[in-house]
Chains A and B, each alone.
Chain A
Amino acid sequence: MEALLEVVNLKKYFPVESGFLKKSVEYVKAVDDVSFKIYRGETLGLVGESGCGKSTTGRMLVNLLKPTSGEVRFEGKDITKLKGAEEREFRKNIQIIFQDPYASLNPRMTVGDIIAEPIKINRLAKGEEVEKRVLKLLEYVGLASYHRNRYPHEFSGGQRQRVGIARALAVNPKLIVCDEPVSALDVSIQAQVLNLLDDLQKEFKLTYLFIAHGLNVVKHVSDRVGVMYLGKLVEIGDADSLYDNPLHPYTKALLSAIPVPDPAKKRERIILSGDVPSPLNPPEGCRFHTRCQSCMEICKKKEPELKDVGQNHRVACHLY
């Protein structure tokens, strides 16, 4: 399979400024040396708890954040160094859907204008063509043509998310970064949006990077899944093999913590002690060793690398 996008040693450090002169003394290592590939037509899920760097990674792929170092290669070309017209041209290829559909839609624009904006900016259509395209897009995402003259506040959460999806589709992207697209929605609405994303993927041969903290949702949509912890990718593999046979102790704990809607199933639960350490000064060695139940001496000193354990499954742990 061909990689549509390749992330190589991607890092993002946010400086923490303090003092009168705003000198940056420390760095929050939000994403620290992450590499992975996204293949054409697949859905790669990215899971992890808050602060693990999954959203920061997503934003760097869309070029909304500039990486501190590392490369993002889209169809073989490094996009982090693009500028001006070239960058604008590239942006058509990767679009993003945000978590909070209300905060990401301009309240003073009608839905029709919101969806038409990317079409006009990228000069994909002119005059009446624009209107036609907007109507088509509304139809794709399951909204009616009369919705185009309404404002975002007139819509429910699920409908707003549909508007966000239509806007992302407007420029015929190849890859869509879905950053927690259903986290803010009710269960019944969540199912509607997930099914819509699935239909659109088949129809337009889209590739998704699906970022979420809901592990059940990620399992449902993804072909492959990556697990992040404190800015590091700790495990990545095919969705089925990762969920059936998790290797990293963190992945195991994370999976065992998901409440399953079946009272008859009583499962062994691994309860992690303590909280995620501060990303300002992450623990030395393996970043998970402070909460790990299988921690060894070496874990405290040496950082494990992502190792291939066969069947497309890679894990960063000294146990393997």
Chain B
Amino acid sequence: MLLQVKNLKTQFKVKGGVVNAVDGVDFEIDRGEVVSIVGESGSGKSVTSLSIMGLIPNPPGKVIDGEILFKGEDLLKKTKKELQNIRGNEISMIFQEPMTSLNPVFTIGKQISEALIKHKNMSREEALKKSIEMLELVGIPSPEKRVKDYPHQLSGGMRQRVMIAMALACGPELLIADEPTTALDVTIQAQILDLMLKLKDKLGTSILLITHDLGVVAEVSDRVVVMYCGKVVEKGTVMEIFERPLHPYTEGLLLSIPRVDEKHDKLFMIPGVVPNPLNMPKGCAFADRCHRCEEICKKEVPPLVEYEGRQVRCFRYLNHKEGKV
């Protein structure tokens, strides 16, 4: 296993109380695998990725419990210095908005070189040469000229390519991509996803993809983790999740997307809204919106149950043997 996240809990202190943004999350990523975390806003998917990177702003946030084992070593026990040697080197990250994560006053060549000079002890000339190579790898035309450009001179798709070049420059073993295509148009999104998958095969990088777009998940992932209100509600291979979702939330989500390949008169609707994180219901967080809610769901929090070799957080699968429900 390349990465194992065990019982991760991240809290934020806010006005009026404490928000458990990530509340006991477990999952793992193998080498060369693409794992997606899906969920709506507020489900804790981005906080999970920031916790792995050690980028939770403290205060107000804090990882209060759990382990993040990267190649067997707990990242939460590392010192600041040790983490700096891992970040951008062995684990790197791409963010949603490429413009806000690039520095506007440095050329892109300088920004890609920075990690190479720091982590790989390259000289400036070597690093610049490597930067040009990386830009070529991510498909930027005439990279020798582009390397001297500033971020504002590039289009959105190009900027995201630069981000990918920067993230992959040191040859990381894990790439965390937090909504990498959300800000892009569909044709550019197709280019970027295609590029990420090609580079994954070429360089053998594992990818943790954070997204809310189930279409993107279906196209690129090997395994899927579905989150709701800070908890994992279902885990499985991409086929299992899409062919036979177990949790009513996953089921509802899949049914409520308008599809181009099917025609329905009315969309399936998950009623209501996500509960206020400061005032979580007593039982299952999804109970109020669930079309299969029972008495017990409103009283107790369901555990993550093994069912048909998968894991799902729902009472329906607790007392049933495999194959029934």
Interface residues of A (CB under 8 A from B): 49-50, 156, 158-159, 186-192, 194-195, 198, 213-217, 219-221, 240, 243, 253-265, 269, 271-273, 275-276
Contact = CB atoms under 8 A, between A and B. Distances in A.
A271 B194 contact: yes
B185 A50 contact: yes
Interface stretch (B77-85, B211-219, B294-302): B211-219
Name the residue in A198, A213, A217, A258 with the highest tally of chain B Cβ atoms < 10 Å from its Cβ. Answer: A258
B261 to A, nearest CB: 6
Contact of A195 (B194, B213, B257, B266): B266
23 contacts: A50-B185, A188-B40, A188-B256, A192-B271, A194-B258, A198-B266, A216-B257, A217-B258, A220-B267, A253-B187, A259-B213, A261-B217, A261-B242, A261-B259, A263-B218, A263-B243, A271-B194, A272-B191, A273-B191, A275-B155, A275-B157, A275-B158, A276-B155
Given A187-B257, A257-B186, A275-B157, A192 B269 contact: yes
A243 B259 CA distance: 11
A250 to B, nearest CB: 9
B186 A213 contact: yes
B contact residues, range: 35 or more
B188 interface: yes
B189 interface: yes
A195 B40 contact: no
B258 A219 contact: yes
Contacts of A194: 258, 267
B252 interface: yes
A271 B186 CA distance: 10
Nearest to B139: A273
Contact of A275 (B188, B194, B215, B257): B188
Contacts of B253: 187-188
B239 A260 contact: no
B122 interface: no
B254 interface: yes
Nearest to B265: A198
B206 to A, nearest CB: 19
B242 A254 contact: no
Interface of B: 40-41, 155, 157-158, 185-191, 193-194, 212-219, 238-239, 242-243, 252-254, 256-261, 263-264, 266-271, 273-274, 289
Contacts of A186: 40-41, 212, 274
Contacts of A190: 256
A289 to B, nearest CB: 16
Nearest to B193: A259
Nearest to A217: B258
B165 to A, nearest CB: 17
Nearest to A189: B273
B83 to A, nearest CB: 32
A188 B193 CA distance: 24
Which 6 pairs show the lowest CB-CB distances between chains A and B?
A259-B215, A220-B258, A191-B256, A49-B185, A257-B190, A186-B40
A10 to B, nearest CB: 23
A272 B41 CA distance: 31
A257 B258 contact: no
A260 B185 contact: no
Contacts of B267: 191, 194-195, 220
A258 B258 contact: no
A259 B260 CA distance: 10
A229 B191 CA distance: 18
B261 A260 contact: yes
A257 B189 contact: yes
Contacts of A217: 258
A188 B226 CA distance: 14
Contacts of B193: 259
Given A188-B256, A191-B268, A192-B270, 18 more contacts: A187-B40, A187-B212, A188-B40, A188-B252, A188-B270, A192-B269, A198-B266, A213-B186, A215-B260, A216-B260, A219-B260, A257-B189, A258-B215, A259-B193, A260-B219, A260-B261, A261-B254, A272-B187
Contacts of A276: 155, 185
Contacts of A260: 215, 218-219, 259-261
Nearest to B183: A50
Contacts of B259: 216, 220, 260-261
Contacts of B268: 191
Contacts of A159: 273
B186 A254 contact: yes
A158 B273 contact: yes
A271 B190 contact: yes
B213, B270, B273, B289 — most chain A CB neighbours (10 Å): B273
B257 A261 contact: yes
Nearest to A256: B190
Contacts of A192: 269-271
Contacts of B243: 263-264
A214 B187 CA distance: 12
B303 to A, nearest CB: 24
A128 to B, nearest CB: 32
Contacts of B289: 188
A191 B270 contact: yes
A259 B258 contact: no
Contacts of B213: 259
Contacts of B238: 263
